[in-house]
Amino acid sequence: MSGEPTAYAVLDIDLDALVGNWRSLRDRLPQGAICAGVVKADAYGLGMAKVAAALAAAGCRLFFVAQLGEAVALRHLLPDAEIAVLNGLLPGEAAAFAAHRLIPVLNDLGQIAAWRGTGGGLPAIIHVDTGMARLGLPPGELARLAADPSLLAGLSLRAVMSHLACADEPSHPHNARQLAAFGAARAELPAAPASLANSSGIFLGPAYHFDIARPGAAVYGVNPLPGRPNPMAQVVRLKGKILQTRDIDRGEFVGYGSTHRREGPGRIATVAVGYADGWLRSLSNRGSVAIAGQRVPLAGRISMDLMTIDVTALDPQAASPGNFAELIGPGHDIDAVAAEAGTIGYEILTALGSRYRRVYRGGAAPYLPSEKTES
């Protein structure tokens, strides 16, 4: 009627649930600690503009992104927020960092020297590697920094941070090793607020909380406690439209590679979501969806724009063209989809495609200062 393109699939993002998750994480931290918001990778695929605005309205004042470009985009949305860039300060970027009042997370001595070179005592976060060998000062560089305080002269230390490699495995011995290494590193550096915990790190207990926590995934509803009940509210629902259904006879093959063959007669429905939409091909013959509240299996390989599901067990009315199949929903959350795909909820979220019709709910509540408001 309106000439609008068909909504082949709808991604529903509940900003109230997202803000509720952030608040519940913040409330686990000690009084006065800062709960930052990690909104890298377009807020884990859910849309940085909407997510950051909702978090800011709820009182979040410190944001982490991965890349300078993300930070510049966020600066335009949030003129007053503190914005830190995890990937560090790359050659040639210092002027842009300064111009947009961004906080670089300095990962090596070269970056520290480059940021000091901008002058003016601009704030920075120093990242020390405590056992991940990914980003951050390696032990040798930390020792050189400790031996020569002039390397930090004129630099405003916003925080000292590190990152946990095994926070989602509470009993993993590496957590305590990193905690100890972080304490030792802080003792070598000038006094500054400390930051160690990501989402799962917050659940390792008060020893891991320090002054600033950096949750991402749990804010978006991913379970920070794999294998245990998820304390977070679900933020995302995804449904895809059934385009066509067909009866198949004994022994017909379904999809590319003819990897699926129904033994008896049955019904196949084709849904308008494929791997180009982030519905990972590893879900082929393994994933499931819900139609009218009933779970049905994927049948055959996922293709670029489509997937096929076995709806033999359903009332034909329920699985008729134009109806929706629920791909992510209350009974089958991001972590359940990830388990079927052989990956983690983070990858399911960040893979969510750009073709979905996105519907945002809530998030418009005004900012109500509370006792636990961040300074």
Ligand X SMILES: *Cc1c(COP(=O)(O)O)cnc(C)c1O
Query: Which residue, 215 or 221, has its beta carbon nearer to ligand X?
Result: 215
Query: Which residue, 47 or 215, has its beta carbon nearer to ligand X?
Result: 215
CB of 94 to ligand X, least distance (A): 21
Query: Which residue, 10 or 344, has its beta carbon nearer to ligand X?
Result: 344
Tell me how crowded residue 119 is: count the other CB atoms within 10 A of its CB: 10
Annotated active-site residue in 40, 220, 241, 356: 40
CB of 216 to ligand X, least distance (A): 3
Q: Residue from 163, 267, 301, 332 that binds ligand X (CB under 6 A)?
A: 163
Taking contact as CB under 6 A, which single stretch among the options 77-85, 96-104, 211-219, 318-326 is the one that binds ligand X?
A: 211-219
Backbone angles phi, psi at 192, to 5 degrees: -160, 155
Residue 256 a catalytic site member:
yes
Q: Residue from 89, 217, 299, 314 that binds ligand X (CB under 6 A)?
A: 217
Question: Binding of ligand X at residue 199 (CB under 6 A)?
Answer: yes
CB of 214 to ligand X, least distance (A): 4
Annotated active-site residue in 44, 241, 256, 367: 256
CB of 161 to ligand X, least distance (A): 7
Q: Residue from 21, 130, 175, 198 that binds ligand X (CB under 6 A)?
A: 198
Separation between Cα atoms, residue 182 and residue 161, nearest integer Å? 8
Q: Which two tokens stand for residue 260?
A: 């699926």
CB 84 within 8 A of CB 74: no
Site string for ligand X, 15-44 (x = CB under 6 A): -----------------------x-x----
CB 289 within 8 A of CB 364: no
CB of 217 to ligand X, least distance (A): 3
Tell me how crowded residue 113 is: count the other CB atoms within 10 A of its CB: 12
Q: Which secondary structure element, helix H or strand E, spans residue 124, and what is its range?
A: strand 123-127
**Do β-strands 324-328 and 236-248 pair in parallel, antiparallel, or remain unpaired?**
antiparallel
# chain residues binding ligand X, by CB under 6 A: 11
Separation between Cα atoms, residue 363 and residue 361, nearest integer Å? 7
**Of residues 75-114, those binding ligand X (CB under 6 A):** 86
Q: Quick one: how far is CA 353 from the chain centroid?
A: 14
Separation between Cα atoms, residue 127 and residue 219, nearest integer Å? 23
Which burial class, exposed, middle or buried, applies to 249 when counting CB atoms under 10 A from its CB (0-12, 13-18, 19+)?
Answer: exposed
The residues pairing with 349 across neighbouring beta strands, listed in sequence order, are: none
Give the active site residues: 40, 256
Question: Can you give the binding site for ligand X, defined by CB under 6 A?
Answer: 38, 40, 86, 163, 198-199, 214-218
